[in-house]
């Protein structure tokens, strides 16, 4: 049965997650995640609203030349940048454009991308607009398994209006959401962009601090997610909770719509990515996309510490973050447990066929500290 949102009150949050209440009033966290907090508190419009206010010079739905649409998009991208900074620093008010907007251009492009899908780096070319299914197991429709106020996310996000989409471009052998990412059972609903907007409104109006797009992975659902923002009538920060295996065009589509990035940075090299998530080019694509996102919204990078992968994954991941995206918050996660294929093939995945040891997590924390992550606020690590 699809799990849906019931209202959540401040007293419930206080009872289950007192750290989330503290985070709401934390001056330090607010200074570290300034854009997210200003949208969450309704002091600034979310980026999708700014994109909606920026007028486009043509009707993008009637433009048949996709190259021309991208040229228009990229010109508006530059205009968006300065408008966003004005809104951020000056508190500029924005209103929906009277005609076609930057968001409409994005919607038109996202729809075209489904003709021969190239949303993620599989670049598999599935003709999804004609109903074909891609490697991610997603076709034409947007599939939602559940949506609810998530009480288990990072303190500044809770309660988080989380939407679990079906399918995923990754095949993580230890996936904890494999029922929705790796197989398509019957417990889902197909939603239109308007219905997706209504889901988001219901989450925000019943207590969520944000909308958290996750899965599986939200990447195959970009067309519906982007279009839902055209109909969304409430101001709410948009969170991208993903493995970040998007193509550059897909990154360009969402870069100016996401207020807080919540990427998983799993592996410190391609070999582990290939063996444990069955993706190619893991490290280059992930780091490239983190650099595209960095500075365009706040960011909390998650790294799940895997048993036996401290040297090959945790150390290079943390080092890369400290050197390339030092202003992000880092969440080192210790909750790994064997799931999905790992318990079925313990010999093949020997090193991860057990929970993480305490001393391994302590070593991960020491690595983070040695790379400059010396400030901890509500379990999030920051440099300086």
136 in contact with ligand SF4 (CB under 6 A): yes
Among the listed ranges 112-120, 256-264, 293-301, 336-344, the one in contact with ligand SF4 (CB under 6 A) is 112-120
Using the rule CB under 6 A, which residue among 80, 84, 122, 265 binds ligand SF4? 122
Nearer to ligand SF4, 241 or 314 (CB): 241
215 in contact with ligand SF4 (CB under 6 A): no
368 in contact with ligand SF4 (CB under 6 A): no
Among the listed ranges 3-11, 15-23, 111-119, 274-282, the one in contact with ligand SF4 (CB under 6 A) is 111-119
Nearer to ligand SF4, 193 or 237 (CB): 193
Please identify which residue in the block is written with the tokens 């949102």: 5
123 in contact with ligand SF4 (CB under 6 A): yes
Among the listed ranges 58-66, 135-143, 276-284, 356-364, the one in contact with ligand SF4 (CB under 6 A) is 135-143
Nearer to ligand SF4, 142 or 329 (CB): 142
Minimum CB–partner distance for residue 128 and ligand SF4 (Å)? 6
Q: Among 343, 368, 363, 341, which Cα is nearest to 353's?
A: 343
Nearer to ligand SF4, 8 or 175 (CB): 175
Using the rule CB under 6 A, which residue among 105, 138, 276, 380 binds ligand SF4? 138
Interface with ligand SF4 in residues 168-197 (CB under 6 A):
169
219 in contact with ligand SF4 (CB under 6 A): yes
Minimum CB–partner distance for residue 122 and ligand SF4 (Å)? 4
281 in contact with ligand SF4 (CB under 6 A): no
Residues in contact with ligand SF4, counted by CB under 6 A, come to a total of: 16
Residues engaged in binding ligand SF4 (CB under 6 A): 117-120, 122-124, 126, 128, 134-136, 138, 169, 219-220
């Amino acid at each position: 049965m699809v799990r849906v949102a019931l209202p959540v009150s401040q007293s419930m949050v206080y009872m289950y997650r007192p750290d989330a209440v503290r985070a709401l009033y934390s001056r330090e966290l607010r200074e570290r995640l300034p854009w997210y907090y200003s949208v969450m508190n309704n002091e600034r419009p979310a980026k999708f609203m700014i994109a909606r206010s920026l007028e486009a010079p043509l009707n993008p739905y009637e433009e048949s030349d996709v190259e021309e649409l991208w040229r228009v998009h990229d010109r508006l991208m530059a205009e968006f940048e300065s408008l966003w900074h004005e809104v951020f620093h000056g508190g500029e008010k924005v209103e929906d454009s009277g005609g076609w907007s930057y968001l409409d251009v994005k919607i038109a492009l996202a729809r075209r991308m489904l003709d021969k899908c190239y949303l993620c780096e599989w670049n598999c070319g599935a003709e999804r607009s004609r109903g074909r299914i891609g490697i991610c197991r997603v076709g034409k429709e947007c599939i939602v398994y559940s949506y609810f106020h998530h009480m288990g996310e990072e303190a500044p996000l809770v309660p988080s209006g989380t939407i679990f989409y079906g399918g995923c471009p990754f095949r993580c052998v230890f996936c904890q959401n494999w029922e929705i990412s790796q197989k398509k059972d019957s417990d889902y609903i197909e939603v239109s962009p308007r219905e997706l907007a209504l889901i988001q409104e219901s989450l925000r109006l019943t207590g969520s601090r944000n909308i958290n797009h996750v899965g599986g992975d939200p990447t195959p659902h970009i067309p519906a997610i982007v279009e839902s923002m055209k109909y969304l009538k409430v101001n709410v920060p948009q969170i991208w909770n993903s493995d970040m295996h998007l193509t550059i065009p897909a990154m360009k589509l969402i870069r100016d719509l996401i207020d807080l990035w919540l990427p998983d940075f799993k592996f410190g090299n391609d070999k582990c990515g290939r063996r444990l998530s069955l993706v190619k080019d893991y490290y280059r694509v992930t780091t490239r996309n983190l650099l595209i996102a960095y500075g365009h919204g706040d960011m909390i990078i998650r790294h799940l510490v895997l048993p036996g992968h401290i040297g090959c994954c945790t150390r290079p991941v943390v080092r890369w973050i400290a050197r390339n995206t030092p202003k992000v918050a880092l969440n080192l996660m210790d909750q790994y447990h064997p799931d999905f294929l790992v318990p079925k093939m313990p010999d093949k995945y020997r090193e991860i066929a057990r929970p993480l040891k305490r001393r391994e997590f302590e070593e991960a924390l020491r690595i983070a500290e040695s790379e400059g992550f010396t400030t901890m606020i509500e379990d999030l690590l920051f440099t300086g």
